Amino acid sequence: MQKRTLGTNGLEVSAIGLGCMGMSFGYGEPKDEDEMVALLRAAVERGITFFDTAEIYGPFTNEKLVGRGLAPYKGKLVIATKFGFDIDPSTGANLSALNSRPEHIKQVAEASLKRLGVDVIDLFYQHRVDPNVPIEEVAGAVKQLIDQGKVRHFGLSEAGAQTIRRAHSVQPVTALQSEYSLWFREHEKEILPTVEELGIGFVAYSPLGKGFLTGAINDKTKFEGNDIRNKLPRFGPEGMKANQALVDLLAAVAERKNATPAQIALAWVLAQKPWIVPIPGTTKVKRVEENIEAATIELTPRDLEQINEAAAKIDIVGERYPEQMKSMTGL
């Protein structure tokens, strides 16, 4: 597996990481824990060194799963987790209740260390920007955790350019994690130039469009009742039918490259900048293997030009998230 470096302080990770949320949360019922432990270890054995979780996934259960699954490799991997929500242990996650007060950040860090079974959090993201807490205070709290040896690197998720700059002036930001794929490219306007200027890495979540860009989903697909895609406008019948044109484009390129649409989607993300790392999620070992192979696919400048020209003619239908879910756009 090729490696990439996030930020300017030498955080080296596999070119493709593994998003772990869907193992416990978001896409239907939680998966069998023993099977997911086996998947996590299979990912490590195949070269993945970068794993993404968060306290809110479950809540709490995904961190415990990742901690258990990766325990045999303690100190040899990069595990990223996140803070920023108020979570009632008895009732679970309230996705509209943000909390990045410094004292809360420190409490989350201590709890995450225990659940993950590690001595230090490799990369600690603010999951969503909290409008009630100045970002300088957030960065300062994480700086203290870094000084105490409890956190190695500071990250942000779905933050705007000015927020990134303000945070970076207090504690260098190693990585920004935000959604990025061929069907969501808004960050190319201002965010990617900002992080490039500041020397911040970019971690692309949902690089496969929450599964849509794999070609395995269409307008007749039925999701489990508690699958978040039921609430997303892009996954309504109209959106999926219209957006199929993008999948068809990927499939056409995949045929030429002897690859799959998912691999082309990931290869496209990788080709944008050498400091971008996609973290596709999956619950199947065969998909882990498929995703890893994407790092070996070379898209030439002409390939990329053709993809971009064709994609520019496709109007993506549907918002990423409905209005009532705006606070969870970092998930």
CA distance 151 to 137: 16
CA dihedral over 160, 164, 165, 166, signed as positive or negative: positive
Superfamily of domain 3-211+265-297: NADP-dependent oxidoreductase domain (3.20.20.100)
Place of tokens 């490590």: 44
| 247-257 mean pLDDT | 97
Contacts of 97 (CB under 8 A, 6+ apart): 85, 86
Compute φ and ψ for 177, nearest 5 degrees: -105, 120
Banded model confidence at residue 331, pLDDT cuts 50, 70, 90: very low
Contacts of 326 (CB under 8 A, 6+ apart): none
CA distance 79 to 77: 6
Return the pLDDT at 127: 96
Banded model confidence at residue 329, pLDDT cuts 50, 70, 90: low
Return the pLDDT at 95: 62
Pairing outcome for strands 201-205 and 173-179: parallel
Contacts of 218 (CB under 8 A, 6+ apart): 240, 241, 244
Q: How far is CA 239 from CA 3, 64, 207, 217, in A?
A: 36, 35, 18, 12
Banded model confidence at residue 93, pLDDT cuts 50, 70, 90: low
Pairing outcome for strands 276-278 and 201-205: parallel
Banded model confidence at residue 96, pLDDT cuts 50, 70, 90: low
Pairing outcome for strands 11-14 and 18-19: unpaired
CA distance 105 to 84: 7
Compute φ and ψ for 33, nearest 5 degrees: -65, -40
Options 27, 57, 125, 321, the catalytic residue? 57
| 180-185 mean pLDDT | 96
Question: Catalytic annotation on 57?
Answer: yes
| pLDDT per residue as tens digits for the range 99-119 | 999 999 999 999 999 999 999
**Nearest in space to 229 (alpha carbons), one of 247, 250, 206:** 206
133 and 167 in contact (C-beta within 8 Å)? no
Sequence letter at residue 146: I
